[in-house]
Amino acid sequence: MKNIANLSLRDISKTFTSEKGEKIESLSSISLDIENEEFICLLGPSGCGKTTLLRIIAGLDRPSTGSINLDGYGIDRPNPQIVMIFQEYSLYPWRTVVANIGFGLELRKVPAQERHLIIKKYIEIVGLEGFENSYPYELSGGMRQRVAVARALAVDPSVLLMDEPFGALDAQTRNLLQQELLKIWEKTKKTIVFVTHSVDEAVYLADRIVVLTPRPGRICEVISEDSPRPRDRTSIEFAKVRRHVLDLINQPKCSLP
């Protein structure tokens, strides 16, 4: 059965208490509906709460106010239908590519034969044929991130959360993996919420770009990008959207707390 993901965020705010006892507001009144199979990019300056919002969606953190629902069910703890991929890969160095991808399946006690078929499927999807028995230290950064994506997809989540997954990569590898991610998304049609600092990356990937203000993070504007994929980064249309996002970030309503 196909997984359906409709995320609803209502009035999400988050306040932390510093070591000095000061109240720090990270997020303020975030409300957003995310449709099934949609590719959303969260864009904003460092410290605006993008990762905090992703962790709240994942059920890893609790909001101070507000609620999150997935298909009508409240999210207040980790949910097997929501998987998060971090920038640091988070692979087990003592496990091979196959063993890393299959880790979540082992935890769910998927039978070995079925597990083998699932792992094989996602190795092919992310283009890691020939590296099945390699260890993370033998792989490039881009290949390690492909393993992390395959491991997340193998457990068949409804929602994939990605926290700047390509941020530590060089520009050429980053562009290549953006292309590969879109191919994977076209094949799997997972709902993706993707955090980035890069306007270019957001315009290239997203169905909608959610621009957040500096802390406390609030939604400044949601920009729909409906031009066909793959998008030409040198086209006039691409440049217009990128210019609009950059202008928006520089507007007072988006640049002032």
Ordered per-residue pLDDT tens for the chain, 257 residues: 344 568 999 999 999 888 888 888 999 999 999 999 999 999 988 888 999 999 999 999 999 999 999 988 888 888 889 999 887 768 899 999 999 999 999 999 999 999 999 999 999 988 899 999 999 999 988 899 889 989 999 999 999 999 988 887 888 888 888 998 998 899 888 999 999 999 999 999 999 999 999 889 999 999 999 899 989 999 999 999 999 999 888 776 666 44
147, 156, 202 from 77: Cα distances, Å: 25, 18, 28
Alpha carbon distance 35, 40 (integer Å): 9
Return the CATH number of the domain spanning residue range 7-81+159-255: 3.40.50.300
Alpha carbon distance 88, 141 (integer Å): 9
The predicted model scores a pTM of: 0.89
**CATH 3.40.50.300 domain residues, the chain:** 7-81+159-255
Pairing mode, if any, of strands 65-70 and 191-196?
unpaired
Residue where the block lists tokens 């003592």: 94
Neighbouring C-beta atoms of residue 234, cutoff 10 Å = 7
